[in-house]
Structure 1
């Protein structure tokens, strides 16, 4: 079956900077915005751009991601000419091994690409929040007669050292490319989105592999710049890399702004609401007589009898009478019991906060074990954890999955 273009979606990242949120799931599978997963945004961009063959390259803890993507039906990618295929590493074969990097993952799946003989290959990441019509990117690539096109976005110069940085000519052609420079020459940062002319990509993957290169930004793009036409496509809309706890929390809070930048209602984002083992859909959210809700996203199946302000609640969350939730992100089926108080906390699935417990209260102290992950006051509670009645958990704390916390946790501690 021949296709004009296919997409290769990189979704194998471990998400280590997201700490316990990525302990039992791949980063793209983390819930976002109540009912979605992070990967839904890229999957929906692909579907809405009329690209109907996608290879999803998984590796780290892929089960929940595979269940979520299923057969592609939620994105209308199911049928004789439409396909979503999960492509895990083919360990044990002589020519394959665990994916060592972004380009290596695609290199190990060139047979999948060859099955469709595409003119172009779109390579995207599954861990960003944004809306893009890839048809415009592809049209730009063709107009410039490019061999490769890299999506670029202006970032504050103080943050540019975290990205691959490009300098471009007036024509848009990339003149220089530096991966995570200490002194960035410009503020045009790579978004990790690429369009390649297929024959150029195939040769570059082989050459890169022979020199032990494994990464598009570090190896493939610098190699192509030497003898090929590589252009930058500047994107100036909302885009967030949610690879840290701060960035993830802020992107969720962006949804609650008076004029939110991520206008999800207009983005046609699709998701898979089916939960393995559940029969039937969740009922509508219920707000009791004592409920007070301000500027929040409340998903289906939630029962609110307490106070919720400036927070994002996934399906099935219960907030009992006299409980308060503020500036927080609560995943599926968590229970905030009567009298409990939750402030600036990310709570994973099936967590129970018992009566009159207080989370996110105390002095500001950086997390002692993970100072690079938690320093701005956000506390994170792992999946299926339980906080005992009347216990206080401070700021910048980490509560491990399935932990039962029976003693107070001072700010900056890990339990």
Structure 2
């Protein structure tokens, strides 16, 4: 894999994940209590032997840069690197990234080194575990110019993805971005017998969705981007490549989830709390890496806990009930709190213990106060939920809306980063 370089796209505004992306880029959003989204593609590259990685960034990228710098430092005897390529204005081009293809075009000079033969393009908002060596084998064996990783989905899910149309050899001969009408959907249906014959049980899944994972011959990618001004891979570049070059499908049947929306992100986190989760971060051969924080063990005192993930450095006081929750690092939960279906992203620091009781204020507190009740919510980092406060998403007057520091998104209550919810506050208001 020493001839492969990966580009991880992380430059979008992340509007579908607002307000989680108000102060951070999408790949920097915390995940599963102690990780960040960017850890997934980087870990998959490391586990696959892809040691040369570039992360393309543009919006709200400070925390992402900090996390990468503090986490992925390879030693002097290792040829690998994770390097950040931030959008920048130059004498030749004063525009920012205009799309996925345009972002790669603006960084082509880093891909023209002699040893690079293949370019692996990845997304920064997906949860999966994949060995890219298998994808490279598919690419080489079929003499493809570009290979697209695909996952079988059912008809109802197919309308949300780019869907591949194949010939019998697995060559992509057509591509439809988010087909809406039944006729278009039928035109890109792959026979279940073909999927079964290629080692994957179709089980009613007759549509091959693009995973947003692309492996290119470097020279072809450079040629297509330098000879056009197209801005997007899915909308512009791939239809052109399909017409003139061999575009191959690589089948994947493991867990894969696009978590670029509030609902998908929330549900993917809660699914990890199941006794048999669809995805495990712990894997002896292919772990998901992140930055070690050297935090103390979590302390729990006479609590009731069912199907939860609890990260390092937390303190959960007596009488509290947690059910199907993800609790992030350094979270303090007071006495007699009830939380169900809640994702807590934790805190970046512990409150300063110095000073007298007279000088301490609620502004210094972090976590969830005594007697609070929370159901169907996400708490971003460094929030304070006041004592006896109540946030119950199912009681909200609307599925969408902004209510001060609480936002309703897809029926989920999202408490913004750094929010201060006062004691006794009720959501929705009585």
Confirm or deny a common fold (TM above 0.5): yes
What per-residue deviation string (whole Å, max 9, x for no partner) do you get for residues 118-167 of structure 1?
A: 11111111110000000110111101111100111122312322221111
Other-structure match for 2:392:
360
Contact 1:72 1:83 in 2 (8 A): no
Residue correspondence of structure 1 range 167-246 to structure 2 within 5 A: 167-183=165-181, 184=185, 185-186=188-189, 187-209=207-229, 213-246=230-263
If asked which structure has higher relative contact order (CA below 8 Å, sep 6+), I would say 2
Q: Is the 8 A contact 1:208 1:219 kept in 2?
A: no
1:253 correspondence with 2:253: no
Aligned partner of residue 90 in structure 1, secondary structure: coil
Task: Name the counterpart of 1:278.
Answer: none
Matches within 5 A, 1:2-21: 3-21=2-20
Q: Residue deviations 1:172-208, cap 9 Å, x none? A: 1011112222232332111110001111111111123
3-state SS of paired residue (2:253):
coil
The answer to whether the 8 Å contact 1:8/1:57 transfers is yes
Partners of 1:70 and 1:103 in 2: CA distance: 26
Q: Is the 8 A contact 2:161 2:178 kept in 1?
A: yes
Other structure's SS at 2:7 match? strand
Instruction: Give the match for residue 121 of structure 1.
Output: 119
Q: Is the 8 A contact 2:400 2:411 kept in 1?
A: no
Unaligned runs of 5+ in 2: 190-206, 348-365
Inter-CA distance 46–78: structure 2 relative to 1 (3 Å threshold) = farther
Deviation string 1:22-51 (CA, Å, 9 cap, x unpaired) is 100011110010110011111100010011
Return 5+ residue gaps in structure 1 as ranges: 275-280, 395-407, 411-415
CA distance in 2, matches of 1:174, 1:93: 39
- Secondary structure of the residue aligned to 1:343 is strand
User: Partner of 2:135: helix, strand, or coil?
Assistant: helix
- Once the two structures are TM-superposed, the CA of residue 102 in structure 1 deviates from its matched residue by 0.7
Q: CA deviation at 1:332?
A: 1.5
Q: Partner of 2:315 in structure 1? A: 303
Q: 360-369 or 109-118: which moved more?
A: 360-369
Structure 2 Cα separation of the partners of residues 163 and 361 of structure 1? 28
- Structure 1 distance, partners of 2:145, 2:101, is 16
Q: Which residue of 2 aligns with 1:104?
A: 102
Deviation sequence 1:85-116 (CA, Å, 0-9, x none): 10011214323531111111111111111135
Q: In structure 2, do the counterparts of structure 1 residues 321 and 374 end up closer, same or farther at CA, with 3 Å as the change threshold? A: closer
1:340 pairs with one of 366, 372, 375:
372
The residue number in structure 2 matching 1:314 is: 328
Return the TM-score normalized by structure 2: 0.85
Inter-CA distance 362–173: structure 2 relative to 1 (3 Å threshold): closer
Deviation at residue 393 of structure 1 after TM alignment: 1.0
CA distance in 2, matches of 1:94, 1:8: 22
- The separation in 1 between residues aligned to 2:92 and 2:99, in whole angstroms, is 18
3-state DSSP class of the match of 1:208?
A: coil
**Aligned 8 A contact 1:350 1:385 in 2:** yes
1:381 aligns with one of 371, 394, 415: 415
3-state SS, counterpart of residue 159 of structure 2: helix
Contact 2:71/2:290 (CA < 8 Å) preserved in 1?
no
* Native 8 Å contact 1:47 1:77 kept in 2: no
Q: What residue number does 1:270 align with?
A: 289
Farther off after superposition, 130-139 or 251-260: 251-260
2: distance between equivalents of 1:337 and 1:364?
21
Q: Quickly say closer, same or farther: Cα 1:79–1:27, change in 2 above 3 A.
A: farther
Quick check: 1:96–1:108 contact (8 Å CA) kept in 2? no
**Which has the higher mean CA deviation after the structures are superposed, 293-302 or 88-97?**
88-97
Q: Distance in 2 between matches of 1:245 and 1:182?
A: 22
The 5-angstrom pairing of residues 76-91 of structure 1 reads: 76=74, 81-91=79-89
Residue pair 1:3, 1:116 contacting (<8 A) in 2 also: no
Aligned to 1:328, what secondary structure does the other structure show? Answer: strand
Match of 1:285 among 291, 294, 298: 298
